[in-house]
């Protein structure tokens, strides 16, 4: 009997020992796998943050690429990112690559110094497995006892980030000239000469729905916000329902135009002009205050505005359009027959007229002074002049005394700025065609739009690279 009990105890001890070894093995496996999973999570967070930091710097230039690499490395070096938030990581150039599309093939991802065309490198990939020194190597505590090959395990993470759109209003109009910068003939201004940018004068308001440098009939177009440049998209992409949210937000869903032609549909539908007024806190058009917030200042600038800054009393919220070609009354270079004093509309509500220079100064074109108004804007019976309330070093929109905050919704500064594609005209015949973009103009809405009237003051040309939507993680 005693021998049987001793035998049972021995068997139980053997079984317990075997079970203990198995349990310790599973615990060891769990600890080692946990280390690998933890490291991979750290590296994924590191890659995500580094890619987002880098993507925010991409502007289609070599300088932007260099800044992107610096930002990615700086983000990874943050102590909150690696090894249980005890230290940062060192990213090598090989782990930071750029491409023209987020789903580009492996051969199309290049390090910053080998990018063939910086203007197309709008997406960044951070891959920790390509890094030197290695970041994902984990020393195991238990698995190495089973096999020398398991003494270290490697893991890694990859993130792709970039901008998927442009803050470009899906309205396109004709450029008034083919020259990006040219002088405007006005003998009264000599020796100073006014700058024209694709034929537009800074500080002058235009009716964007009534212009045509080639004829007396207005030309305006929908810029397809969903189709990729270079192709004519489906008709559904330029339907009123498809376009509406993009008019509200002032954006399109492609990250670059470059030298490609764009799909335009003529004409811009009359039913959609109320959507521009979301910027004035008028949301009845179907716009939403979250995706299409009002401007931080919704004060219109017609002659009825208190503290009006001009001596004359304009008869419309924007300069009138007339003639063949169909232009603003402010456009003709000849001053032989000055327009009526009330026809210019608001002047310099956001931007000042600029002085022409054959080479753009490093700090930008120099502005004229308000004392130059009589020579810039001759009129009968008297030229407009700026009152003493006109801001000395700014413009009315940017001055507190001329602002009105929206009620009920949170405003966003400069939402009244429309970025408009300026097309090479005449555009080929047809309702849906490809057109060449000469440049992108900044236009400031001086007042809410009405049927057939979109009053917007020209504020200069903006580079496409400056209009990228916020960077986001794509993979």
3-state secondary structure 420-437: EEEECCCCCCCCEEEECE
Tell me how far CA of residue 83 lies from CA of 68, 74, 87, 140, 156, in angstroms: 24, 16, 6, 15, 13
In a domain, 172, yes or no: yes
Report the pLDDT value the prediction gives residue 413, as an integer from 0 to 100: 95
Q: Are residues 62 and 153 in the same domain?
A: yes
- pLDDT score of 20 more than 70: no
Report the pLDDT value the prediction gives residue 461, as an integer from 0 to 100: 97
Lowest-pLDDT choice from 30-34, 424-428, 441-445: 30-34
Phi, psi for residue 276 in degrees, rounded to 5: -65, -25
pLDDT digits (tens, 9 = 90+) for 73-116: 988 887 666 665 566 788 999 999 999 888 889 899 999 989 99
Percent of the chain having pLDDT more than 70?
A: 85
Of 196 and 31, the structure prediction assigns the larger pLDDT to 196
CB 444 within 8 A of CB 456: yes
CB 406 within 8 A of CB 294: yes
> Model confidence at 270, in pLDDT bands (50, 70, 90)?
very high
Q: Are residues 156 and 171 in the same domain?
A: no
pLDDT digits (tens, 9 = 90+) for 119-149: 888 899 999 888 888 887 776 666 666 666 6
Helix boundaries (H) for 363-439: 373-376
The residue written with tokens 């610096």 in the block is 70
| Of the residues 162, 182, 199, the one at which a domain ends | 162
Over residues 177-203, the mean pLDDT reads 92
Angle 319-360-251 from CA coordinates, rounded to 5°: 55
Percent of the chain having pLDDT more than 90?
A: 53
Of 474 and 156, the structure prediction assigns the larger pLDDT to 474
Report the pLDDT value the prediction gives residue 146, as an integer from 0 to 100: 64
In a domain, 6, yes or no: no
Q: Are residues 155 and 182 in the same domain?
A: no
Q: Are residues 124 and 237 in the same domain?
A: no
Q: What is the DSSP string of 243-311?
A: HHHHHHHT-BS-S--TT--EEEESS--GGGGGGGGGGGT--TTS--TTTSPPBS-----STTSTT--BS
Q: Are residues 181 and 152 in the same domain?
A: no
In a domain, 10, yes or no: no
CB 447 within 8 A of CB 142: no
Over residues 183-190, the mean pLDDT reads 84
Instruction: List % helix, strand, coil for the chain (3-state, nearest 5).
Output: 30, 20, 50
The tokens of 262 are what?
């764009």
Report the pLDDT value the prediction gives residue 394, as an integer from 0 to 100: 92
In a domain, 76, yes or no: yes
Over residues 307-335, the mean pLDDT reads 78
The tokens of 265 are what?
């549909």
- pLDDT score of 172 more than 70: yes
Provide the total of helices (H) and of strands (E) in the chain, helices listed first. Answer: 4, 19
- pLDDT score of 19 more than 80: no
**Strongest mean pLDDT among 3-12, 123-132, 331-340:** 123-132
Nearest 10 degrees: CA dihedral of 246, 249, 254, 258? 110
Q: For 90, which DSSP code?
A: -
- pLDDT score of 240 more than 70: yes
In a domain, 24, yes or no: no
In a domain, 243, yes or no: yes
Q: Are residues 169 and 140 in the same domain?
A: no
At 111, is the secondary structure helix, strand, or coil?
coil
Over residues 392-406, the mean pLDDT reads 93
> Model confidence at 4, in pLDDT bands (50, 70, 90)?
low
Q: Are residues 389 and 250 in the same domain?
A: yes
At 237, is the secondary structure helix, strand, or coil?
helix
| Of the residues 127, 162, 197, the one at which a domain ends | 162
Over residues 205-209, the mean pLDDT reads 94
Residue 303 exposure: Cα atoms within 13 Å on the Cβ side: 15
| Of the residues 139, 162, 185, the one at which a domain ends | 162
Q: Are residues 144 and 176 in the same domain?
A: no
pLDDT digits (tens, 9 = 90+) for 363-390: 899 999 999 999 999 888 888 999 999 9
Q: Are residues 295 and 362 in the same domain?
A: yes
The tokens of 275 are what?
């959507």
Over residues 387-399, the mean pLDDT reads 93
Number of domains in the chain: 2
Q: Are residues 177 and 150 in the same domain?
A: no
* Domain span holding position 119: 32-162
- Number of residues written out for the chain: 475
CB 183 within 8 A of CB 295: no
In a domain, 456, yes or no: yes
> Model confidence at 33, in pLDDT bands (50, 70, 90)?
low
Q: Are residues 272 and 292 in the same domain?
A: yes
In a domain, 14, yes or no: no
């Amino acid at each position: 009997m005693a021998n049987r009990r001793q035998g049972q105890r021995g068997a139980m001890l053997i079984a317990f020992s075997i079970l203990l070894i198995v349990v310790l093995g599973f615990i060891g496996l769990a600890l080692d796998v946990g280390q690998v999973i933890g490291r991979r999570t750290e590296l994924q967070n590191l890659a995500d943050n580094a890619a987002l930091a880098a993507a925010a710097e991409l502007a289609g230039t070599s300088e932007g690429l260099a800044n992107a690499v610096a930002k990615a490395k700086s983000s990874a070096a943050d102590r909150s990112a690696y090894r249980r938030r005890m230290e940062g990581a060192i990213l090598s150039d090989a782990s930071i690559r750029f491409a023209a599309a987020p789903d580009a093939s492996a051969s199309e991802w290049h390090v910053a110094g080998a990018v063939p065309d910086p203007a197309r490198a709008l997406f960044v990939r951070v891959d920790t497995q390509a890094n030197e020194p290695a970041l994902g190597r984990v020393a195991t505590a238990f698995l190495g006892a089973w096999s020398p090959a398991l003494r270290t395990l490697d893991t890694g993470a990859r993130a792709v980030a970039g901008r998927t759109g442009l803050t470009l209003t899906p309205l396109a109009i004709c450029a008034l000239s083919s020259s990006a910068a040219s002088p405007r003939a006005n003998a009264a201004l000599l020796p100073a000469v006014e700058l024209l940018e694709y034929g537009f004068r800074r500080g002058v308001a235009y009716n964007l729905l009534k212009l045509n440098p080639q004829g007396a009939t207005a030309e305006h177009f929908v810029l397809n916000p969903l189709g990729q440049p270079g192709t004519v998209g489906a008709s559904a992409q330029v339907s009123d329902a498809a376009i509406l949210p993009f008019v509200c937000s002032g954006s399109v869903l492609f990250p670059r135009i470059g030298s490609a032609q764009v799909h335009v549909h003529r004409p811009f539908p009359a039913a959609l002009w109320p959507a521009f007024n979301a910027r004035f806190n008028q949301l009845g058009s179907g716009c939403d205050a979250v995706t299409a917030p009002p401007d931080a200042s919704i004060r219109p600038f017609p002659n009825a505005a208190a503290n009006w800054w001009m001596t004359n009393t304009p008869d419309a919220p924007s300069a009138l359009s007339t003639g063949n070609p169909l232009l603003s009354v402010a456009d003709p270079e000849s001053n032989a027959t000055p327009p009526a004093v009330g026809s210019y509309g608001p002047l310099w509500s956001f931007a000042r007229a600029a002085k022409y220079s054959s080479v753009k100064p490093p700090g930008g074109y120099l502005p004229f002074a308000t004392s130059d108004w009589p020579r810039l804007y001759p009129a009968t019976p008297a030229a407009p002049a700026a009152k003493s309330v006109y801001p000395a070093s700014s413009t009315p929109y940017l001055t507190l005394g001329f602002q009105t905050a929206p009620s009920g919704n949170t405003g966003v500064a400069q939402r009244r700025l429309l970025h408009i594609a300026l097309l090479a005209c005449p555009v080929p015949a047809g309702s849906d065609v490809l057109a060449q973009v000469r440049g992108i103009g900044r236009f400031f809405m001086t007042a809410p739009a009405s049927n057939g009237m979109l009053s917007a003051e020209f504020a200069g040309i903006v580079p496409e690279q400056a209009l990228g939507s916020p960077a986001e993680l794509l993979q």
